């Protein structure tokens, strides 16, 4: 028996944050129903009335309390990043090399394990919107360090749409549903967004990322994270070093395809949330490596862009990402509202050893996050909410306010005092000391000239994509701009794209009824950064991939069992799908249990589809439209499709032309992500499972031409 999530987690309180949370957890086992005042209640289904059919009485304090509390259950959703999913975990540095650059203990001491809470999110949609929309993903991490909370509030893309935070309300108003009719939900494919883009060309680099596969993550577990801004590390001597933070998922970076995203949005709007939750419950803990790019202060001006400009990356080939440590997410929250909804991130939550730069976007964020929590969480005491509470001691003279949970004792709440023994006292050691940057200048409202190359890195991104990634980008622009009703906006965006790459502009124009630009106004600089292509990220594992195994009565029981065992050994997650839920009678008379009925799921919810052998089973499935659709749709989305023995017949019956079983002595055949094996006996050959796992590790067979396959 595999361990339950509780058993796997070990005794509660194994890390200091978990221990702290234990004191506020409420278990309802063996409990009696009470009011908020602790008075026991024997009846909660009918209000107190005068006679059975008479009016309800005001004195029914239980009914009033119950309804009043319900009326106040909602808090304002986040103005951006409203929809999210969270998880607890831990972070630990590999060694102490970063000690030369920072005093932040959690980054430089390999003996210190720091509890974390991470919240992933989409940006534009409201709380109830679908996960698989084209959007940026938030990747916010709260480190509960022994020196206080540090929040790294990043995204899954390394740049941003705008350079100065004062533009943020404009940008968000443009991308959110349009104000007159609140349409469309969680989409950038509408006029106001593209109007903003057309008039604000600093967006172009980020727009390239948004139109790329990065905007469609297969899983939060397979997504990079970036701090975006240039921050500053500060060491024991007070020396500063510029730093960019990176999270790299150990499963590689993988994306869905757009047609799949749109379908998942209906089939399972919680697709990314569920994936995160299920993986953690199954003990398949998501892992990410934290890396840093370091730039000595004296090199501040040695790039062809400004380090303070958040629309620019530092190419990894110029400044390598050096690994610092690993984060593992290993515990789901107990309560979505209490933890994931109430978590309050703030870019200004820094600890000694980490400081800011003058990036104008970051400076605005340092104001906005505290401000937004005040309205969202209803007052100044939100840091006392369990998920936000530091594990470091919190002792200050801030008092009162809504929702004050602490009972401060004594007479003094001011500094300096003698009546309270001078406490809390300012310390000398372990304190946050602001980096003493020298700044001088006139007060101006002006964008720096060094921020004004809007296209160079958009071109770099485009050049760095593989052919298939470029195709996806072109298709995304055509889809999005094709939804723009006001035609001059389409023209204007194509004009900007012509500054990124002439060929790109022409390809996009051809799909949206805009005359392709004739002149190449800004010849492509030809530079590339291979690290930007997802296809170059680690992909050695098919672990955690979900596999649909199509079965019906008469399937070869031994073949199914050995297939399932083989896939599990590879770390994959096979599920048996049958025309109906319940038992499936195998050809050998044994019984298998279907995990789900075919019609309750869909191929888009799996990473691969497999058909085991079994003449009767194949015959039944060949008359089942759902079963055949699993195969054609998975094929369309370039997913691994596999069949064993006469299972191959079902592929043909589904119309996958040209798919054949291996010839004599060929064993296993792999062709464009289609894995087939001849039937020798019941047991599935090891090579078949290995080949399928390899195809899953490659994620998709991008070389497969699927244009003509119906969607």
Listed as own residue / partner, the contacts of 682-688 with beta carbons closer than 8 Å and 24 or more positions apart are: 682/556, 682/557, 682/558, 682/559, 682/562, 682/588, 682/613, 683/558, 683/559, 683/562, 684/559, 684/562, 684/563, 684/566, 684/612, 684/644, 686/566, 688/563, 688/566, 688/642, 688/644
74 Cβ contact partners less than 8 Å away, ≥ 6 residues apart = none
**DSSP-derived 3-state class of residue 68:** helix
Q: Is 8 annotated as a binding residue?
A: no
DSSP tag of 178: B
Least distance (Å) between residue 265 CB and ligand HDE: 21
State the nearest-atom distance from the C-beta of 347 to ligand HDE, in Å: 8
Strand duo 596-597 + 573-578: pairing: parallel
Which C-beta is closer to ligand HDE: that of 115 or that of 154? 154
Shortest reach from residue 179's CB to ligand HDE, in Å: 18
The dihedral built from the CA positions of residue 186, 189, 192 and 194, taken in this order, carries a sign that is positive
CB of 75 within 8 A of CB of 323?
A: no
Quote the least distance from Cβ 551 to ligand HDE, whole Å.
41
Q: Which is nearer to ligand HDE, 342 or 632 (CB)?
A: 342
Q: In this complex, which beta carbon is closest to ligand HDE, that of residue 165 or of residue 333? A: 165
Distances (CA, A) of 181 to 75, 178, 186: 23, 6, 14
Active-site residue set: 81, 155
Q: Give the whole-angstrom CA distance, residue 82 versus residue 376.
A: 11
Tell me the C-alpha distance between 145 and 390, whole Å: 8
Per the annotation, does 365 bind a ligand? yes
Residue nearest to ligand HDE (CB): 138
Contact criterion met (CB below 8 Å) for 628 and 654: yes
Q: In 3D, which of 48, 32, 51 has the Cα closest to residue 40?
A: 32
Coil, strand or helix at 610 = strand
CA dihedral (101, 106, 110, 112) positive or negative: positive
Comparison of 312 and 506: residue with beta carbon closer to ligand HDE: 312
C-alpha neighbours within 13 Å on the C-beta side of residue 700 = 24
**Residue 129 vs 676, nearer CB to ligand HDE:** 129
Q: What's the Cα-to-Cα distance from 592 to each of 157, 205, 588, rounded to whole Å?
A: 44, 52, 11
* Cα distance between the two ends of the chain: 41
Cα 586-588-594 angle, rounded to 5 deg: 20
3-state secondary structure (DSSP) of residue 378:
coil
Nearer to ligand HDE, 270 or 616 (CB): 270
**DSSP one-letter string for 365-376:** HHHHHHHHHHHH
Identify which of residues 79 and 543 has a Cβ nearer to ligand HDE in the complex.
79
Q: Would you tell me which residues interact with ligand HDE (CB under 6 A)? A: 78-81, 84, 119, 121, 138, 140, 153-155, 160, 165, 168, 228, 310, 343, 345, 361, 364-365, 368-369, 372-373
User: At closest approach, how far in Å is the CB of 399 from ligand HDE?
Assistant: 24
- The answer to whether 119 is annotated as binding is yes
Shortest distance, CB of residue 363 to ligand HDE, whole angstroms? 8
232 forms beta bridges with 242, 355
- Least distance to ligand HDE, CB of residue 226, Å: 7
CB of 606 to ligand HDE, least distance (A): 28
Which residue's CB is nearer to ligand HDE, number 41 or number 375?
Answer: 375
| Stated length of the chain | 711
Torsion on CA atoms 276, 278, 282, 285, rounded to nearest 10: 0
* Residue 435 near residue 230 (C-beta atoms within 8 A): no
Residue whose CB is less far from ligand HDE, 290 or 691:
290
CB of 370 to ligand HDE, least distance (A): 8
- E-assigned strand segments in 458-607: 546-550, 573-578, 582-585, 591-594, 596-597
Query: What is the distance between the alpha carbons of residues 114 and 105, in angstroms, rounded to a whole number?
Result: 10
Query: What residues form the annotated binding site for heme?
Result: 78, 119, 168, 365, 369, 376
Query: What residues form the annotated binding site?
Result: 78, 119, 168, 365, 369, 376
């Amino acid at each position: 028996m595999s361990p339950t999530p509780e058993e796997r987690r070990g005794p509660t309180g194994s890390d200091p944050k978990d221990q702290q949370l234990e004191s506020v957890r409420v278990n309802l086992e063996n409990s009696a129903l009470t009011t908020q005042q602790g008075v026991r209640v024997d009846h909660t289904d009918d209000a107190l009335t005068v006679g059975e059919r008479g009016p309800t009485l005001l004195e029914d304090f239980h009914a009033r309390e119950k309804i009043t509390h319900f009326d106040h259950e909602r808090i304002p959703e986040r103005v951006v990043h409203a929809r999210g999913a969270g998880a607890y975990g831990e972070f630990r540095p590999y060694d102490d090399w970063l000690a030369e650059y920072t005093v932040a203990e959690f980054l430089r001491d390999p003996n210190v394990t720091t509890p974390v809470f991470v919240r992933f999110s989409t940006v534009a949609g409201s709380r109830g919107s679908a996960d698989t929309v084209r959007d940026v993903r938030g990747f916010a991490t709260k480190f509960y360090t022994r020196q206080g909370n540090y929040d790294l509030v990043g995204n899954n893309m390394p740049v941003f749409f705008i350079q100065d935070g004062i533009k943020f309300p404009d940008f968000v108003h443009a991308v959110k549903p349009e104000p007159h009719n609140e349409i469309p939900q969680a989409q950038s494919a509408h006029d106001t967004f593209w109007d903003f883009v057309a008039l604000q060309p600093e967006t172009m680099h980020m727009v390239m990322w948004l139109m790329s596969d990065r905007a469609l993550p297969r899983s939060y577990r397979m997504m990079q994270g970036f701090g975006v801004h240039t921050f500053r590390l500060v060491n024991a001597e007070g020396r500063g070093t510029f730093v960019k933070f990176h999270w790299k998922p150990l499963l590689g970076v993988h994306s869905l395809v757009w047609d799949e995203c749109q379908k998942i949005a209906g089939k399972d709007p919680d697709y990314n949330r569920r994936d995160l939750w299920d993986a953690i419950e199954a003990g398949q803990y998501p892992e990410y490596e934290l890396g840093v790019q370091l730039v000595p202060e004296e090199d501040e001006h040695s790039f062809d862009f400004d380090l303070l400009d958040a629309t620019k990356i530092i190419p990894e080939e110029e400044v390598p990402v050096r690994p610092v440590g690993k984060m593992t997410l290993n515990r789901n929250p107990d309560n979505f509202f209490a933890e994931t909804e109430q978590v309050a991130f703030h870019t200004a939550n820094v600890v000694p050893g980490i400081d800011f730069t003058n990036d104008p976007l970051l400076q605005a964020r340092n104001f906005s996050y505290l401000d937004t929590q005040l309205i969202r969480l209803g007052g100044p005491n939100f840091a006392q909410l369990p998920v936000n509470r530091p594990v470091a001691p919190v002792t200050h003279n801030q008092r009162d306010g809504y929702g004050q949970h602490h009972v401060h004792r004594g007479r003094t709440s001011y500094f300096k005092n003698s009546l309270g023994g001078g406490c809390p006292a300012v310390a000398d050691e372990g304190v946050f000391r602001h980096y003493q940057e020298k700044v001088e200048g006139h007060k101006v409202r002006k964008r720096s000239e060094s921020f004004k190359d809007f296209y160079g890195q958009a071109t770099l991104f485009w050049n760095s994509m593989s052919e298939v990634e470029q195709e996806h980008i072109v298709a995304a622009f055509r889809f999005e701009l094709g939804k723009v009703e006001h035609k001059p906006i389409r023209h204007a965006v194509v004009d900007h794209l012509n500054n990124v790459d002439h060929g790109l502009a022409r390809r996009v124009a051809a799909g949206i009824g805009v005359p392709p630009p004739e002149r190449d106004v800004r010849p492509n600089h030809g530079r590339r950064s291979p690290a930007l292509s997802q296809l170059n990220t680690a992909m050695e594992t098919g672990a955690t991939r979900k596999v649909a195994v199509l079965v019906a009565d008469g399937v070869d029981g031994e073949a199914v069992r050995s297939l399932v065992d083989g896939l599990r050994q590879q770390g994959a997650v096979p599920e048996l799908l049958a025309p109906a839920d319940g038992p499936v009678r195998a050809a050998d008379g044994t019984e298998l249990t279907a995990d789900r009925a075919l019609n309750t799921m869909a191929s888009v919810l799996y990473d691969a589809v497999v058909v085991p052998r079994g003449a009767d089973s194949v015959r039944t499935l060949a008359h089942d439209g759902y079963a055949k659709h699993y195969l054609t749709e998975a094929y369309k989305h370039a997913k691994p499709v596999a069949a064993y023995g006469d299972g191959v017949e079902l592929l043909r019956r589904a119309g996958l032309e040209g798919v054949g079983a291996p010839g004599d002595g060929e064993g296993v055949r792999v062709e464009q992500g289609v894995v087939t094996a001849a039937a020798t006996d019941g047991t599935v050959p090891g090579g078949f499972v290995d080949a399928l796992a390899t195809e899953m590790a490659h994620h998709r067979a991008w070389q497969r031409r699927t244009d003509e396959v119906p969607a």
